[in-house]
Amino acid sequence: MTATVTGESQATAPRILVFSTNNISDPGIDLAGSSHMHYSPTVMVISLPCTSGIRPSWILYAIQQGFDGVFIAADGEECAYLPDCAERTAGVMTQAQELLSEAGYEPQRVRMAAVCSVCAEPFTNYMHEYSSSLAQLGPSRKATA
């Protein structure tokens, strides 16, 4: 049986890399799985202590390596490490979008939303909506001018 995302087979479903955080967003993502909420199996999650530690170059590298999009499951104001985590993570997003544009990729290939420890349903909804948006963009290739 093949998983589908907006009517597409798993082979053509957008590949999404998710950066999440150990204390805040990981429990929400885990809850989605343990609650048997469906989102594409082409979504891969990397856990970090804090989303403000993400380097914009990692996002560009992920796209260059074949991911169609990168989603940052941010802590929002709940970060246990830095009081200005949300502002720093917003700066990471801005820099990543600029890097993607400079490299010839659509800046929409990176997205961010706050995901809390009980946000299983919102996370699942984000993945469905983001997969649909990425499917409309098509596979990650450098945009032609």
- Compute CA distances 135 → 30, 33, 53, 89, whole Å: 25, 23, 28, 25
| Structure tokens, 81 | 């490490």
For each of the domains in the chain, give its residue range(s) and CATH number, in order of start.
11-137 (3.40.50.960)
Q: pLDDT of 64-117, one tens digit each?
A: 999 999 999 987 666 666 667 678 888 999 999 999 999 999 999 999 998 888
Kindly state the percentage of the chain with pLDDT values over 70: 83
Determine the Cα–Cα distance for residues 1 and 54; give it in Å rounded to an integer: 35
Determine the Cα–Cα distance for residues 27 and 48; give it in Å rounded to an integer: 13
Closest CA to 66 of 108, 105, 113, 93: 105
